[in-house]
Amino acid sequence: MKYILITLLVFFSNSLFAQLSVGQLKTENLIDPVGIDLKEPRFNWQLISEKRNVLQTAYEIKVFNNKKEIWTSGKKNSDQSIWVKYKGAPLKSNQRYHWQVRVWDNHGNISAWSKLAFFHTAFLNKNDWKARWIEPGFQEEKERPSPIFRKEFNTGKKIKKATAFISAHGLYEAYLNGNKIGDAYFTPGWTSYNKRLQYQVYDVTSLIKSGQNVIGAILGNGWYRGELVWKNNRDIYGSDIAFIFQLEIEYKNGKKEKIISDNTWKSSIGEIQFSEFYHGEIIDARKEKAGWLNPNYDDKNWMGVKEVKHNMDVLLATYNEPIKKQELIKPIKIIKSPNNETILDFGQNLVGWVMVKASGQSGDKIILTHSEVLDKNGNFYRDNIRYARQQNTYILKGGETEVFEPHFTWQGFRYIRVDEFPGEIKKENFTAVALHSDIRPAGEFLTSDSLINQLQSNIRWGQKGNFLDVPLDCPQRDERLGWTGDAQAFSRTAMFNYDVHNFFAKWLRDLEADQQPSGSVPYVIPQVMRKKDAGSAGWADAATIVPWNLFLAYGDTLVLTQQYKSMKKWVDFMLSKSNNYLWNTGFHFGDWQSFRVDDDEHGRSAFTDKYFISQCFMAYSTQLLVNAAGVLGNTQDVKQYSHLLQQIKEAFLNEYITPNGATISNTQTSYVLALQFDMLPEALRQTAADRLVKNIRAYNNHLTTGFLGTPYLCHVLTRFGYPEVAFELLAQKTYPSWLYPITMGATTMWERWNGIKPDSTFVSPRANSFNHYAYGAIGDWMYRAVAGIDQEADTPAYKRSIIKPYINSNFKHVSASLQTVYGKLASSWKIANGRLSLDVVIPANTSAYVYIPTESKGDVTADGTLISDSKDLKVAGEEEGFIIVNVGSGNYHFAVNLH
């Protein structure tokens, strides 16, 4: 009898656990991060259950150090499963902590304890640093070849753990016993170096050995002192190049040892003779110091190093994902151009470099020059690259087959021109390596229309190629800067395609650091331009727009807390530049790259008054500040800035709107911004929307918006009853439109709507990037309206979603998904035989309102049952053209006849 009871108990327990489990454990939104310097790191997890309507009712967390429990939350009656703070004993530097969680749900289930996750702390106190900054001990040459450093050391036996802490002025690659430490590139990344310099933490236990070891490092100029902001502008942060390294070894007998950078190291020059982001790299393999990364190498002819005092207070651990190698792409063809150039086509505009394999004699040379496009005759074209050479040169040492790739540069390209190659040029000897920040894919979007699918591909490739530690504007010409306008316009689309929480959170700290005392925000972050290059409407508003979008997407209130002062300073700056609440002073870029007559033989320019735009963004940023103040409980600021917002809108109406609702500019962007930011009273809004559509019709159903109007254009049309016009714009194939570049062969987004004209000639090369993600902001609307994945504004992180697809006959099917912090959220619809099917996935611990496109609820079925008879959902109401259904977590299949 006892055996039967035990068996039943085990069966019952296993059944409970089988219905509920926990996965996707993250610390600070990273899986098992190494190098966390927060004293109260935060935990995220996801509930996994096949049941419907699953909500967490309680959780319990345990944290361990060296298998000893150091904190338990106890059972907490809460549905919170994201951003749960550690509240245990003070954490220690350079320690690995493991944690696990279990949860209870609303069906009486208890999960088993999750698998162990971990986080490894960085230095929690600045005096943990014992290492010294070191610089090369020799006089640098004019071309600044990359210095190399080395240090040999001896260890005892039975090593338990070894951890390396590394940073540089410039860029570094570090090695231990010939093995590269980590798989990241362009470390320590790009920040406002004089205020915030990141260091990386690596577990190098597997690389170290008992006995003789050697540390090696190569440095590059990078963003710190390399050429930036166009021609001959170097040493923005300093002219020095320096390295700091601390290796902490723990032996199994409990003893500890530190190996640090100091004056006992040696320095020299290796094979990298020249390295710049804009211009490329020159590697002379004949000058390689063979064996220098191995122990027992004879470095007696090397120079020493200089110990120097650099600011240690600016050092901080790294939270954003580093840049890593991603896709490998082989050329699709070899072209012999009319100019007798040998050109390789990789079929995709990408960012990274080309790895080349060759054999030849000592002194043979390979020159690879990179470009995005060919001219109309098929010749190599690089005028739009401007001053940047984008060229890698490799000089062979001779003999065996050699493989070359750069270290401290990248190129933006689809094509390479190959010069002076020894022997026959074969496709198999060239491989393009795509590089970008190692952000995790979050969303997928697919339709029955191949051109729209290519548009989505172009948006994603544009994002990948320009997300290299900061959100760049373009990756190829002599610019490659963190333009704030591009970043804010694209930020919400970026959050659909990839998990960019840490990426943007880090960038925003630099925005705050580089914000001027007046509150003005520079055009680019990190700030590397002139002091006066700041304060443009729609650009500087990244200070408010990006934090708010991050909060909406991920529910992280810490981002708002950290950025709140910066948000407020920006709004106060605009107010300080206003006259009676009208901001009509200063320089503004306006609706950058909007339609102009000089772009086409016919039509009218679509110029929107720049102060009209500045007033709209002043209102929007003020509204977002009010929103943030509300989330953070700052009631006084809510009251103060709500009153300010009212005055800003009144000034706008008096200055820019006629009594019958026309804008003074009468452009698409003017109506879009006025409607998107609720600048107009209710009575004038529909009239303004009608005027917007009239304007679109006047341009033959084409858009004319630029960087600031385009992100909101289709949203406004959909909101005010014109979704079919939005779909017409999306499907438009002639200039200006989203699909026109695709008809001209684009594989990324363009800076200009007509970068290549219909006759295959180019517009001015002054500003004509073929990898510029700003216009990819249409992706936000594609996810939210075409597929229908959206959220309630007062429930961030998709805690309560809205599934509201707008059905259009241009598509037979549309599907999209998004990996939210709670799990996978998905919407998929198709039309067949006059019937619409809608499949929805709602993650556990969340709920959703599903909008079924019909006016007859008696015709809607859920999983084959009339919705009125379903036990798992509830009809919540009706909206024009939709039946609204309230559902909990789970998978649902809806169907309805189309009328």
Q: What is the pLDDT of residues 399-425, one digit of tens each?
A: 899 999 999 999 999 999 999 999 999
875 exposure class (CB count in 10 Å sphere: 0-12, 13-18, 19+): middle
Is 881's pLDDT higher than 60? Answer: yes
Closest to 277 in 3D by CA, of 372, 190, 374: 190
Given a contact cutoff of 8 angstroms between Cβ atoms, the answer to whether 741 and 749 are in contact is yes
Mean pLDDT value across residues 81-92: 98
Is 88's pLDDT higher than 80? Answer: yes
Q: What φ, ψ does residue 578 adopt, rounded to 5°?
A: -100, 155
Q: What is the pLDDT of residues 133-164, one digit of tens each?
A: 999 999 999 999 999 999 999 998 899 999 99
Percent of residues, the chain, with pLDDT higher than 90: 91
Query: d(Cα 132, Cα 388) in Å, to the nearest integer?
Result: 35
Q: What is the pLDDT of residues 708-734, one digit of tens each?
A: 999 999 999 999 999 999 999 999 999
**Residue 890: CB atoms within 10 Å:** 20
| Band of residue 4 on the pLDDT scale cut at 50, 70, 90 | very low
β-strand pairing of 147-155 with 266-269: antiparallel
Per-residue pLDDT at 36: 96
Given a contact cutoff of 8 angstroms between Cβ atoms, the answer to whether 459 and 773 are in contact is yes
Q: What is the pLDDT of residues 624-672, one digit of tens each?
A: 999 999 999 999 999 999 999 999 999 999 999 998 889 999 999 999 9
Highest average pLDDT, of 222-231, 349-358, 868-877, comes from: 349-358
Is 593's pLDDT higher than 70? Answer: yes
Q: What is the pLDDT of residues 375-405, one digit of tens each?
A: 999 999 999 999 999 999 999 999 899 999 9
Q: 678 — alpha (psi -120 to 50), left (phi > 0) or beta? A: left
Query: d(Cα 492, Cα 554) in Å, to the nearest integer?
Result: 11
Strands, E, within 372-484: which ranges? 373-374, 380-381, 391-395, 402-404, 411-419, 430-437, 443-447, 467-468, 470-471
More confident residue, 171 or 3: 171
Where b means 16+ CB within 10 Å and e means fewer, 531-565 reads: eebbbbbbbbbbbbbbbbbbbbbbbbebbbeebbe
Cα 287-290-295 angle, rounded to 5 deg? 140
Mean pLDDT value across residues 285-292: 97
Q: Which of 304-313, 622-631, 755-764, 860-869 has the lowest average pLDDT?
A: 860-869
Is 2's pLDDT higher than 80? Answer: no
Where b means 16+ CB within 10 Å and e means fewer, 618-649 reads: bbbbbbbbbbbbebeebeebbeebeebbebbb
Per-residue pLDDT at 598: 57
Upstream peptide bond of 796 is cis (omega within 30 degrees of 0): no
Per-residue pLDDT at 793: 82
Is 13's pLDDT higher than 50? Answer: no
Q: What is the pLDDT of residues 659-715, one digit of tens each?
A: 888 999 999 999 999 999 999 999 999 999 999 999 999 999 999 999 999 999 999
Closest to 182 in 3D by CA, of 192, 172, 168, 190: 172
Per-residue pLDDT at 597: 60
Query: d(Cα 484, Cα 21) in Å, to the nearest integer?
Result: 41
Closest to 150 in 3D by CA, of 248, 285, 266, 228: 266
834 exposure class (CB count in 10 Å sphere: 0-12, 13-18, 19+): exposed
Mean pLDDT in the chain?
95
Structure tokens at 421: 């190659």
β-strand pairing of 117-121 with 68-72: unpaired
Is 16's pLDDT higher than 60? Answer: no
Is 8's pLDDT higher than 50? Answer: no
Given a contact cutoff of 8 angstroms between Cβ atoms, the answer to whether 131 and 245 are in contact is yes
3 state DSSP class of 543? helix
Q: What is the pLDDT of residues 545-590, one digit of tens each?
A: 999 999 999 999 999 999 999 999 999 999 999 999 999 999 999 9
Mean pLDDT value across residues 167-187: 98
| Band of residue 491 on the pLDDT scale cut at 50, 70, 90 | very high
Per-residue pLDDT at 500: 98
Active site residues: 479, 751
Per-residue pLDDT at 604: 61
